[in-house]
Amino acid sequence: MHDDVVITGIGALTPVGNDRESSWEAMVEGRSGVGPITAFDPAGMSTRIAAEVKSFRPSDHFDAKRAKRISRFTAFAVVAAREAVADAKLNIDDDNRDRVAVVVNAAVAGFDTIEAATRQLVAGEEPSAYFVPYSLTNMPSCEVAIDLGVHGPVNANALACTSGLYALMDARRLILSGEADVVICGGTDAGVTPSFMNGLSTMGALSRRNDDPGAASRPFDVDREGFVLGEGAVIMVLESAEHARRRGATAYAAVSGAALTCDAFHVSHPLPTGEYATAAIRSALQRAAVAPDDIDYVCAHGTSTKANDATETKALRAALGAALDRIPVSSPKSTVGHLLGGAGALNAMVCALAIRDGVVPPTINLNSPDPECDLDHVPNVARRVPVRTAMANAFGFGGQNCVAVFTAPDPL
């Protein structure tokens, strides 16, 4: 059945809120989380803005030793996972801990930790003995497992900007294969560092609208010039519908189907035809047993770059056909920036909460729609509309295309 795996808990740390509900409220209201960089002095850089998580101190969440050692992207994941588990009212004990898995993906991983250690070495100082393990891509998954005391399968994948959405696809497989009853999954990243941002800026990927940060992320607008780097984590609790039913849980949505394809074209540019993004959309719909006419909302990847937004539009047109003319398509990156490894998981959260609340968040800063992106992008103001079926897109460097379909859950 298409509702065989359901979302029962969600936790989030984003540039517009330090939990799920405050983040959702800000996105629905169209409040931007973009501002001048505070993590370091960006003087002299061509891009001096980012979407940072605000007022986050590891010492508020961990003991002194752990707070000092833990990488920012891992700390985000652990805190969001705690919220997700509490939201799901999931009690982890000796009876079930071997049947709980963790899949937390990242793209940048511990870039900040490596960068700090490199600066220490250049200055003739001794870096932390823990900088190597704390910089690894699997560390958020492992730290979540340690924090919650679970012993089921624990893994991590790096799929660039598709990482967070693919975590849900991987989690669904673990549940359907019988390897786990529950999977704590999602994406995290914290890439607001001097070298990472300089690298993206040199590629021409970032917006340079430094004097107007709130208007810098403008997906599908004719004046878009690049994405805004963000940071944060979104973590979810997925479980089989039967398991959720037995324990009396409440479901946000069902993860009804997902697909992954590759352009095999270029390390950073999408295939201009959108052929394999189209294939991912079609495969996800087929696996979810959903037709284009069933879709009520598309949460777009919508990065605010020239190539991505135009290619995504082509792929949606090719896959959804005439049905697309009535489907709202919005991009949360207009408010939170691009969370990289966390971006796809955030899109999944938006789909789940749109189904719960019957509201579609807007694409802000959409003042002059690009004729090449001729869709209903819900400009600037949220829209009340029943959502029973939603689709999330995530596309990444290397040509990776991940699409997932979410449906209103059957009563548990």
SS (H, E, C) 345-391: HHHHHHHHHHHHHCEECCECCCCCECHHHCCECCECCCEECCCCEEE
| Contact (Cβ atoms closer than 8 angstroms) between residue 222 and residue 304 | no
- Residue 110: give its domain's CATH number: 3.40.47.10
Residue 1's pLDDT band (cuts 50, 70, 90): very low
Identify whether residues 240 and 271 lie together within a single domain. no
Final residue of a structural domain among 246, 281, 304: 246
Give domain status of residue 251, yes or no. Answer: no
User: Does the annotation mark 185 as catalytic?
Assistant: no
* Catalytic-role residue among 185, 243, 299, 301: 301
Identify whether residues 59 and 190 lie together within a single domain. yes
Identify whether residues 192 and 265 lie together within a single domain. no
* Catalytic-role residue among 161, 299, 351, 402: 161
Identify whether residues 271 and 397 lie together within a single domain. yes
pLDDT at 412 over 80: no
How many independent structural domains does the chain possess?
2
Identify whether residues 222 and 337 lie together within a single domain. no
Give domain status of residue 73, yes or no. Answer: yes
The pLDDT of 14-32, averaged and rounded, is 98
Identify whether residues 336 and 381 lie together within a single domain. yes
Reported pTM: 0.97
Identify whether residues 108 and 133 lie together within a single domain. yes
Helix (H) or strand (E) holding 29: helix 20-29
Give domain status of residue 412, yes or no. Answer: no
Q: Are strands 5-13 and 231-240 parallel, antiparallel or unpaired?
A: antiparallel
Identify whether residues 222 and 285 lie together within a single domain. no
Final residue of a structural domain among 246, 278, 297: 246
Identify whether residues 127 and 77 lie together within a single domain. yes
* Catalytic-role residue among 185, 299, 338, 351: 338
Q: Are strands 389-396 and 400-407 parallel, antiparallel or unpaired?
A: antiparallel
Q: What is the pLDDT of residue 2?
A: 61
Identify whether residues 242 and 291 lie together within a single domain. no
Q: What is the pLDDT of residues 238-293, one digit of tens each?
A: 999 999 999 999 999 999 999 999 999 999 999 999 999 999 999 999 999 999 99
Q: What are phi and psi for residue 169, nearest 5 degrees?
A: -65, -45
Q: What is the pLDDT of residues 170-229, one digit of tens each?
A: 999 999 999 999 999 999 999 999 999 999 999 999 999 999 999 999 999 999 999 999
Identify whether residues 45 and 111 lie together within a single domain. yes
Final residue of a structural domain among 226, 246, 266: 246
Domain extent at residue 387: 257-407
**pLDDT cut 90: percent of the chain above it:** 96
Q: What is the pLDDT of residue 384?
A: 98
Q: What is the pLDDT of residues 87-137, one digit of tens each?
A: 999 999 999 999 999 999 999 999 899 999 999 999 999 988 888 999 999
Q: What is the pLDDT of residue 166?
A: 98
| Among 392, 344, 160, 172, CA closest to 263 | 160
Give domain status of residue 252, yes or no. Answer: no
Give domain status of residue 176, yes or no. Answer: yes
Q: What is the pLDDT of residue 185?
A: 98
Helix, strand counts (H, E) of the chain: 13, 14
pLDDT at 3 over 70: no
User: Does the annotation mark 61 as catalytic?
Assistant: no
The pLDDT of 34-45, averaged and rounded, is 96
The pLDDT of 16-34, averaged and rounded, is 98
User: Does the annotation mark 338 as catalytic?
Assistant: yes
Give domain status of residue 161, yes or no. Answer: yes
* Neighbour-count burial for 145-168, b at 16+ CB within 10 Å, e otherwise: bebbebebbbbbbbbbbbbbbbbb
User: Three-class SS of residue 51?
Assistant: strand
Q: What is the pLDDT of residue 157?
A: 96
Identify whether residues 289 and 339 lie together within a single domain. yes
| Contact (Cβ atoms closer than 8 angstroms) between residue 398 and residue 262 | yes
Residue 411's pLDDT band (cuts 50, 70, 90): confident
pLDDT at 79 over 60: yes
